[in-house]
Amino acid sequence: MARSLTPADRAARLARYYDLDFHDVFYDAELYQQLALSTGGPVLELGVGSGRLAVPLALAGYEVLGVDRDQAMLDRADAAWERERGGIERDRLRTVAGDFRIFRTARSFRLALMAVNTFLLAEDEETRLAVLATMREHLLPGGIAVVEVGTPSAAELARYDRRLLHEWLREDPETGEQVTKTISADYDADDETIELTQVFEWTATHGGPVGRVTQVDLLHLVSAEHLGRLAGAAGFDEIQLWGDHLSIPYGPGSQRAILEARLV
């Protein structure tokens, strides 16, 4: 029998397992370091999560403000910054709970970013435009907004038929527990959505009952072309669409679309 979880424990475990899931992902951190170097910061990250991108940016010398709706994620981001910052001033990285659609601050930025597939959680055009408006309204002239979304191929979408796929078995370095991740995805062609279910199960090294926590997200797919049109409608001027990295234009075979929209 799986152990029952309190809401707080569930949220904390999902935040910790997010870091375990992404522990070997580096391509996007390098990408945003390059963008921060080209703009000079400060940086606004919508969907900062556990600080996976924000902490390295702050360590590199950029002022960062991270926004998220998940307090457990923000708690991990704050803890990671305290652990890593050494003698760097605490305020170089600040986090705040907020709704991406309506968040506003008096601060201005040269780079605003939304990484991975966070943008795909926006359920309709009104929400998408509101998120892009939040980015635009906080940018200085010449600032850049960057949004990354996955663009799965037809072959990939055909495999999203609710089958169970085991992704990994890893040791949680914080607890020593053995953690396994299994996913199931269901693609709805009519609605252009993917219902993504992620199941994390863990056992103590000395044995005992299995623990389980599940996260279900509904991703609303957006094509690269649509993403570009949304940026134009949101008031951005110079719009470019890239593939896996900023040096590769978006095209056939690209697994993700990266929007780079400049505010002139």
Fold adopted by 7-152+222-262: Rossmann fold (3.40.50)
> Which of residues 27 and 85 earns the better pLDDT score?
85
Return the domain boundaries, the chain. Answer: 7-152+222-262, 154-220
How confident is the model at residue 34, as a pLDDT?
93
Residue 245: band (very low, low, confident or very high) from pLDDT cuts 50, 70, 90: confident
Fold adopted by 154-220: N-terminal domain of TfIIb (2.20.25)
For the cut 60, the answer to whether the pLDDT of residue 1 exceeds it is no
As a whole number, the mean pLDDT across the chain is 94
- 62-82 pLDDT tens trace: 999 999 999 999 999 999 999
The model's pTM is: 0.94
Q: What is the DSSP letter of 92?
A: G
